[in-house]
Amino acid sequence: MRKRLLLVAGLVAVNASAQGRVQRPMTFEDFAAVRNVGDPQVSPDGKWVLYSVRTTDVGANKRTTVTKLQPITGGAARIYPDSNTKAAEARWSPDGKWVAYTANGQLWIADASGVNARQITNVNGGASGPVWAPSGDRIAFVTAVFPDCDSDACNIERAKAADTGKVKAHIADNLLYRHWTEWTPATRSHLFVVAPDGSGLRDVTAGVKYDVPPGPFGGSEGYAFSPDGKELAYTAKDQGREDAWSTDANVYTVAVARGGPVVITAANRGADQNPVYSPDGRTILYASQARPGFESDRQRLMAYDRATRTSRELLPRWDRNADAYAFSPSGDAIYLSTVDASRTKLYRLTRTPSGWSTPPQLLTSGANNFSPSISPDGKTIAWLQDATERPAEVYVATVGAPGMSNVRRLTHENDALLAQLKLYPIEDFWFKGADGDSVQGLLLKPPQYQAARKFPVLFLVHGGPQGEWLDQWHGRWNFEMFASPGFAVVAINPRGSFGYGQRFTDQISKDWGGKAYTDLMNGLDAALARNAWLDSTRMGAAGGSYGGYMTNWIAGHSTRFKALFTHAGVFNLENMYGATEEIWFTDWEFGGPYWNKAAMDTVYRRWSPHLFAANFHTPHLVVVGELDYRVPYTEGLSLFTALQRQGVPSRLIDFPDEGHWIGKPQNQRLWWSEALGWFRKYLSP
């Protein structure tokens, strides 16, 4: 008992900074108290920034978003439009006199100071994603409608009938009958326009059977007005019964006044999305993937010439994704956002007499920089920056020919909280991977770190499999929370990860347990060899989605870990193919369906963790969400059965109201309590 008390005392030890301020490890209450800053929007005169703040009320089991308005020179921020309104998606009008925003599920408008607020929509499906026309006379937004309805009264009647009906059966004639966390509804998200005074409400995609933009995560980046306000370009996917196994989304244009949609990217069978008009109206930028069926192909930056109706790639030699992009107001530059070596970075592409300069000019390095917003005069830029040890805040800078100057942090929403916490920054390291190439790893010290002590290791594997660990303040798999009990965190970006070139990303497909597993083990070995304070006798591994798959693979192929934690992990590849919704994913990653003999022989029967269940011996925590249609929760149930039947210490946690991610505050509290408690139990001396 005495040894136990001494251990607990050591794990909760506090640290004092040089200023004498006592700092402590983070708790779940601290994690939930973080004020999540997002969506910065610079005013047209460059003097103000609108941004969102999302807070969590664990007791009420909900989150609330408000919008704040702050001078770009600094000073106090205030809630916009007023302290009683929960506004989101705030967007300046082109002249800066008005702001459109969403509140209570509808579209509103108020003047720049927040007064004269008025509701301008009252649509049954709710309104989201406001985008102003450059002419200022219209606002585009999306709402859910029944495609065959020609009025909102029809939508209301149909929705009421569905709600009050006694039969709740789902009937499907095609695949993709459910997606992410819900059964595919009878409604579709359509693109509407409305005048700032609420008049002229019109569905510009009336009658179409597809969603604008495609679900489940598309937002206002999926559509844009032409500079004259007469045309809209938007992203949609219309592949009929092939929707479940095709990635062929396209960019469409449609006249705002009247007219049918026209697809402008039909020649490419991969995904094309997120149009942006040039200020002179001659060009539409969009992101394009060349290979059909591969959702993680490189996002090429394409330019569509509206006069010749032809497209060309602007950066064919730049081996990174065009994740987000925007023209400068004058059209002489394009701002790009992409992941590079575990950080999101901002770049600028400039126009020269001979064309666009290459490669793009790097504007930010270090930390994680994203969501840029440029003022209409092109002189001011605002963006978000976060890191492992600090949540996102708004940063601003002056933009000039050499790059950015006068870089400064504008918001300080989390300063008081962070001052109480002992949080180390992430440390990068590089090592030799499976191909003899250079692979990146990340290492985080626990808040109790002392050079003379050894600490247990938590080895984290990211999902995807095409994804990455970033130097970011993660809203779910938060490194600092995993480190808080006194654990070192080691996280590797093996092949399959973004930010290291497309060849590196490609190398995991059809090889899930192969070179990526070698990369991961090599990375862990490198971290242990270079850091004597890491205790190789007390290690645990955890991951979600593909990270959960790899944790299951580790369970059948390694005994070096004392405990494992699988969240929403793939267990049986054949069952996964038959129950997941996005069939293009399994077709590409597994080489086809399981009745394809070549795919069965080379992938399904080689890389499925369930085939190695006889080797399971390590204590294993299994977490699933019943609304998870990406990796159906039966994968976790099958894993738990295999563990229990063999007498392996194991625990199952099933969330009936969660999907692939655990998002509700009280569910998150249980998730963290169980995960950290599991590793405390098995990694303690």
pLDDT digits (tens, 9 = 90+) for 502-525: 999 999 999 999 999 999 999 999
* Side-chain half-sphere CA neighbours of 315 within 13 A: 27
Out of 361-375, 516-530, 565-579, pick the least confident: 361-375
In sequence order, the 6+-apart residues with CB closer than 8 A to the CB of 471 are 342, 343, 367, 368, 387, 388, 426, 442
Q: What is the mean pLDDT of residues 210-216?
A: 94
Burial 407-431 (b: 16+ CB within 10 A, else e): eeebbebbeeebeebbbbebeebeb
Q: What is the mean pLDDT of residues 374-396?
A: 95
What the block records as the tokens of 315 is 């950066």
Out of 18-32, 109-123, 227-241, 463-477, pick the least confident: 18-32
Do residues 87 and 66 lie in contact, with contact meaning Cβ atoms separated by under 8 Å? yes
Out of 28-32, 180-184, 425-429, 496-500, pick the least confident: 180-184
* Side-chain half-sphere CA neighbours of 377 within 13 A: 11
Asked if the structure places residue 84 within a domain, the reply is no
CA distances from 66 to 87, 258, 474, 533 (A): 5, 36, 21, 44
- Phi/psi for 36 (5° steps) reads -85, 110
Q: How many separate domains does the chain show?
A: 1
In sequence order, the 6+-apart residues with CB closer than 8 A to the CB of 248 are 237, 239, 242, 268, 269, 270, 271, 292
631: domain range? 423-572+608-683
Distance between CA 389 and CA 367 in Å, rounded?
10
Secondary structure element (H or E) that encloses residue 162, with its range: helix 152-164
pLDDT digits (tens, 9 = 90+) for 169-184: 999 999 999 999 999 8
Asked if the structure places residue 57 within a domain, the reply is no
- State the pLDDT confidence band at 636, using cuts at 50, 70 and 90: very high
- State the pLDDT confidence band at 353, using cuts at 50, 70 and 90: confident
- Phi/psi for 524 (5° steps) reads -65, -45
pLDDT at 20 over 80: no
Distance between CA 32 and CA 663 in Å, rounded?
11
In sequence order, the 6+-apart residues with CB closer than 8 A to the CB of 379 are 46, 398, 399, 400
pLDDT at 19 over 80: no
CATH at residue 461: 3.40.50.1820
Distance between CA 78 and CA 86 in Å, rounded?
13
Asked if the structure places residue 458 within a domain, the reply is yes
pLDDT at 276 over 80: yes
Out of 39-48, 153-162, 263-272, 491-500, pick the least confident: 153-162
Residue 121 pLDDT: 98
pLDDT at 6 over 90: no
Q: What is the mean pLDDT of residues 456-472?
A: 98
Do residues 78 and 69 lie in contact, with contact meaning Cβ atoms separated by under 8 Å? yes
Asked if the structure places residue 350 within a domain, the reply is no
Distance between CA 256 and CA 231 in Å, rounded?
5
Q: What is the mean pLDDT of residues 404-408?
A: 93
- State the pLDDT confidence band at 354, using cuts at 50, 70 and 90: confident
For residue 85, the tally of other CB atoms under 10 A from its CB is 17
Distance between CA 383 and CA 369 in Å, rounded?
7
Find, among 335, 317, 316, the residue nearest to 276 by Cα: 335
pLDDT digits (tens, 9 = 90+) for 281-323: 999 999 999 999 999 999 999 999 999 999 999 999 999 999 9
- Phi/psi for 627 (5° steps) reads -95, 15
Residue 2 pLDDT: 34
In sequence order, the 6+-apart residues with CB closer than 8 A to the CB of 27 are 484
- State the pLDDT confidence band at 401, using cuts at 50, 70 and 90: confident
Find, among 44, 98, 96, 89, the residue nearest to 65 by Cα: 89
- State the pLDDT confidence band at 39, using cuts at 50, 70 and 90: very high
Strand 300-305 to 88-92 pairing: unpaired
Asked if the structure places residue 243 within a domain, the reply is no
Residue 8 pLDDT: 32
Tokens 């020919």 identify what position? 401
Q: What is the mean pLDDT of residues 376-405?
A: 94
Is the C-alpha dihedral spanning 304, 305, 310, 314 positive or negative?
Answer: negative
Angle, alpha carbons 247-207-235 (nearest 5°): 35
pLDDT-above-90 percentage for the chain:
91
Distance between CA 190 and CA 536 in Å, rounded?
55
Return the SS3 of 174: coil
Residue 18 pLDDT: 40
- State the pLDDT confidence band at 7, using cuts at 50, 70 and 90: very low
pLDDT at 649 over 60: yes
Asked if the structure places residue 643 within a domain, the reply is yes
What the block records as the tokens of 167 is 């039969």
- Mean pLDDT (the chain) is 95
Q: What is the mean pLDDT of residues 628-645?
A: 98
Q: What is the mean pLDDT of residues 652-668?
A: 98
Distance between CA 569 and CA 334 in Å, rounded?
39
Return the SS3 of 601: helix
pLDDT at 14 over 70: no
pLDDT digits (tens, 9 = 90+) for 224-234: 999 999 999 99
Residue 212 pLDDT: 97
pLDDT at 485 over 90: yes
Q: What is the mean pLDDT of residues 42-49?
A: 95
Q: What is the mean pLDDT of residues 526-531?
A: 98
Q: What is the mean pLDDT of residues 575-579?
A: 97
